[in-house]
Chain A
């Protein structure tokens, strides 16, 4: 019997068609498809491993965090006491360093040989970026521009600080993958973790470009 509103739309099919999900990182792992520790049959889940889905959701919350900051920024920018900040020139170098770090990670991921050296390089550049950001803070301080000096400087310190904390988290994650790569050189686990790290690392890099745009070009 057909009832009104009885339209067959299955949400999971809609997701399954969006192959976009599986473009990133590894294909669904075997133990995911087998459904935890007893296995035996396929589960009707998404074609994405749990860890990857969880990471994407987490990046969604980080996006909303910075969307919140952005809306506050736009509102506050319209205030009467807004004074544009002189841009510390080192920011351009820092940007280059972070972009280069993402490139190293991506190149390393594609050539499995000397994987550790590439990850080490990417991680090192991440640390260099953080030091560069500290130098930018020092430059401003030397000019007498502190956190409460004006709303733009407040936002600059807080947004770069919040972003830096996320970069620091990425550095720690990369170091953990590096430790794993040392023990189990090119194993499946390393590759899976590395692909998750790479998604996060590129996200953090993209976030920096976005913040640079908001802080100095908008």
Chain B
């Protein structure tokens, strides 16, 4: 009787809608998130191409684009308001709707139960609800391009007064309201996901899967989810107050004496800096919400291709904790030029430089994992190595920006743009792409094309450096960010033309992603059939059938006897020992 019951539940729902659309299966939801993120990345990437077109050749006319964007590019020349909407939405879509959705919600949902030996998430229904809350958020964000005045134009940071005064710029109208609404739905969805992740990691591990036997990706998910749960609510509070400043006549963020359209606004006494503090109290932990899982993917991608354990597992875990704690008290380094007390600035600078210690430990652990490796340069390995390179490059730039003395010079220049693109743009992008190449066989039962993958990697890697390393030098030259043209500035004349080079490299970067898209969909139908464990890896997801059925494990949940990085154990029959191999076969070291 009991056996019959369990067989029945393993089969899962049979109707198309319950199985693929309103599914509560973590694998379906994970893939839904990944595909949604891919769609949003395409939009965000297209916006970036338009931005680069404008910056590279600000005086050219593009009659063709005038037909596509009759308002934003009337007469073929980009409208400055449209440029502001482009940078705002590029940042918003990429940070929240591409990287967060793909790395945390996408890979997180797909891999978490598989890697810890659970049948599903702790709250499957909440999981479905979370996905179907983010879908309207995506629709609202995209729809905001088509309302009167266009999309929000106050930057992804939504600083008041631009975001609070409806008549400030065209995008401050309905577009900004929709932006706040979309973000509210996103935060609600992300909170549901975070509750689910933390509960699942703490409570749903299979027998033998102690915390210190978790793959590092799961550790990064845990820390990132906790950070998200703690950091997003204050932004929600700030967004509620902003909404009332916009529509309720309150003055939380609006000072007196604001003058718009030949009329003094009725607000008084509010503080735009208050918003900045509340925003960056989320904003800074948020970058760790993004980069920690990216590092987790890199940490988990290396061992199968180096055929040796990851270096410094415990120290990495402790460093993740340290980063998590420190990331909550360093938000002020985004505001060094806001006129803060120099002693407060010093506090934030010291905290920020303190974060470089655990970050460097993780970086060095990644590099040390390569020592003595039998490196197999398959596509996922290339992407993992590339993300280490980006982490190093971006991290070095971060030291200059975390230090108030040098930040005051570099603030709001292209140095900042270059830096954060390496970190939350580059490390995360390579991790998402590498993770896709790596887990694609498990998700869809087919391999992605290796040759196309390598071409994709090298084009992406080189073009990314060409774009964003060059921007660091523009920043040294004092080129400010957010300007839609630099033609009028005499002091920028010597470096202005580098923008054309950057734009060409950006187009190469964008085009390279089309190779990935082609590879993805071609391999979905035509790729070589994948074995159950094509990379000969040790973690639990490779023990499951390919693709894993509903309930993941068939009749019995696997039991775990060892940590996830038992590669090249002396005396073992093979150079990898999956976590499920009992101690009677291969000795357990940890």
A→B interface (CB under 8 Å):
5-7, 10-12, 15, 32, 35-38, 40-46, 48, 50, 53-54, 57-58, 60-69, 71-72, 75-76, 79-82, 147-148, 151, 154, 158, 162
Cα of A80 to Cα of B256 in the assembled complex, Å: 11
Can you report 19 residue pairs joining A to B where beta carbons are below 8 Å apart? A10-B212, A50-B122, A53-B122, A53-B199, A54-B196, A58-B195, A61-B194, A61-B232, A67-B233, A68-B235, A68-B281, A69-B237, A71-B277, A72-B238, A76-B270, A147-B248, A147-B250, A148-B249, A154-B252
Q: When the two chains form their complex, are residues A54 and B6 in contact, meaning their CB atoms are under 8 A apart?
A: no
With an 8 A cutoff between CB atoms, is B244 at the interface? yes
Which of B237, B252, B281 has the largest number of chain A CB atoms within 10 A? B237
Q: When the two chains form their complex, are residues A46 and B202 in contact, meaning their CB atoms are under 8 A apart?
A: yes
Q: When the two chains form their complex, are residues B210 and A72 in contact, meaning their CB atoms are under 8 A apart?
A: no
Q: When the two chains form their complex, are residues A53 and B203 in contact, meaning their CB atoms are under 8 A apart?
A: yes
Q: When the two chains form their complex, are residues B233 and A62 in contact, meaning their CB atoms are under 8 A apart?
A: yes
CB distance from A118 to the nearest CB of B (A): 29
Cβ–Cβ < 8 Å partners of A7 in chain B: 314
Which of B9, B232, B240 has the largest number of chain A CB atoms within 10 A? B240
CB distance from A192 to the nearest CB of B (A): 15
B→A interface (CB under 8 Å):
6, 9, 118-120, 122-123, 126, 191, 194-196, 198-199, 202-212, 229-238, 240-241, 244, 248-252, 256, 266, 268-271, 274, 277-278, 281, 312, 314-315, 318, 551, 555-557, 559
Q: When the two chains form their complex, are residues B249 and A147 in contact, meaning their CB atoms are under 8 A apart?
A: yes
CB distance from A139 to the nearest CB of B (A): 19
Q: When the two chains form their complex, are residues A35 and B204 in contact, meaning their CB atoms are under 8 A apart?
A: yes
- Looking at the complex, which one of B207, B233, B248 makes contact with A68 (CB distance below 8 Å)? B233
Q: When the two chains form their complex, are residues B556 and A44 in contact, meaning their CB atoms are under 8 A apart?
A: no
Cα of A54 to Cα of B125 in the assembled complex, Å: 13
Cα of A71 to Cα of B212 in the assembled complex, Å: 37
Known: A53-B203, A147-B250. A36 touches B237 (CB 8 A): no
Q: When the two chains form their complex, are residues A151 and B252 in contact, meaning their CB atoms are under 8 A apart?
A: yes
| Extra contacts besides A50-B122, A72-B278, A162-B240 (7): CB < 8 Å | A38-B555, A41-B207, A45-B202, A54-B196, A67-B234, A69-B241, A151-B270
Cβ–Cβ < 8 Å partners of B118 in chain A: 35-36
Q: When the two chains form their complex, are residues A65 and B236 in contact, meaning their CB atoms are under 8 A apart?
A: yes
Known: A40-B556, A75-B274, A81-B268. A64 touches B211 (CB 8 A): no
Q: When the two chains form their complex, are residues A38 and B556 in contact, meaning their CB atoms are under 8 A apart?
A: yes
- Looking at the complex, which one of A12, A40, A76, A147 makes contact with B244 (CB distance below 8 Å)? A147
Cβ–Cβ < 8 Å partners of B271 in chain A: 75-76, 79
Q: When the two chains form their complex, are residues B6 and A38 in contact, meaning their CB atoms are under 8 A apart?
A: yes
- Looking at the complex, which one of A44, A53, A75, A148 makes contact with B208 (CB distance below 8 Å)? A44
Cα of A41 to Cα of B6 in the assembled complex, Å: 15
Cβ–Cβ < 8 Å partners of A61 in chain B: 191, 194-195, 229-230, 232-233
Q: When the two chains form their complex, are residues A151 and B251 in contact, meaning their CB atoms are under 8 A apart?
A: yes
Q: When the two chains form their complex, are residues B211 and A37 in contact, meaning their CB atoms are under 8 A apart?
A: no
Cα of A45 to Cα of B244 in the assembled complex, Å: 43
CB distance from B180 to the nearest CB of A (A): 15
Q: Specify the chain B residue showing the minimal Cβ separation from A64.
A: B233
- Looking at the complex, which one of A10, A54, A72, A81 makes contact with B241 (CB distance below 8 Å)? A72
Q: Specify the chain A residue showing the minimal Cβ separation from B267.
A: A148
Q: When the two chains form their complex, are residues A57 and B199 in contact, meaning their CB atoms are under 8 A apart?
A: yes
Q: When the two chains form their complex, are residues B237 and A72 in contact, meaning their CB atoms are under 8 A apart?
A: yes
Q: When the two chains form their complex, are residues B250 and A44 in contact, meaning their CB atoms are under 8 A apart?
A: no
CB distance from A104 to the nearest CB of B (A): 29
Q: When the two chains form their complex, are residues A54 and B205 in contact, meaning their CB atoms are under 8 A apart?
A: no
Cβ–Cβ < 8 Å partners of B274 in chain A: 72, 75-76
Q: When the two chains form their complex, are residues B234 and A64 in contact, meaning their CB atoms are under 8 A apart?
A: yes
9 shortest A-B CB distances, which residue pairs?
Answer: A68-B234, A68-B237, A148-B249, A81-B269, A45-B203, A65-B233, A64-B233, A154-B250, A79-B269
CB distance from A19 to the nearest CB of B (A): 16
Cβ–Cβ < 8 Å partners of A64 in chain B: 229-234
Q: When the two chains form their complex, are residues B234 and A37 in contact, meaning their CB atoms are under 8 A apart?
A: no
Q: When the two chains form their complex, are residues B270 and A79 in contact, meaning their CB atoms are under 8 A apart?
A: yes
Cα of A146 to Cα of B191 in the assembled complex, Å: 32
Q: Specify the chain B residue showing the minimal Cβ separation from A49.
A: B203
Cβ–Cβ < 8 Å partners of B199 in chain A: 50, 53-54, 57
Q: Specify the chain A residue showing the minimal Cβ separation from B213.
A: A44
Cβ–Cβ < 8 Å partners of B312 in chain A: 5
Cβ–Cβ < 8 Å partners of A58 in chain B: 191, 195
Known: A35-B206, A36-B204, A43-B204. A72 touches B252 (CB 8 A): yes
Cβ–Cβ < 8 Å partners of A72 in chain B: 237-238, 241, 252, 274, 278
Cβ–Cβ < 8 Å partners of A41 in chain B: 207, 559
Q: When the two chains form their complex, are residues B206 and A43 in contact, meaning their CB atoms are under 8 A apart?
A: yes
Cβ–Cβ < 8 Å partners of B252 in chain A: 72, 76, 151, 154
Q: When the two chains form their complex, are residues B250 and A35 in contact, meaning their CB atoms are under 8 A apart?
A: no
Cβ–Cβ < 8 Å partners of B202 in chain A: 12, 15, 45-46, 53
Cα of A46 to Cα of B199 in the assembled complex, Å: 9
- Looking at the complex, which one of B235, B277, B281, B315 makes contact with A5 (CB distance below 8 Å)? B315
CB distance from B389 to the nearest CB of A (A): 26
Cα of A64 to Cα of B285 in the assembled complex, Å: 14
CB distance from B277 to the nearest CB of A (A): 8
Which of B202, B204, B268, B271 has the largest number of chain A CB atoms within 10 A? B202
Cα of A5 to Cα of B237 in the assembled complex, Å: 41
Cβ–Cβ < 8 Å partners of A148 in chain B: 248-251, 266
Cβ–Cβ < 8 Å partners of A32 in chain B: 203
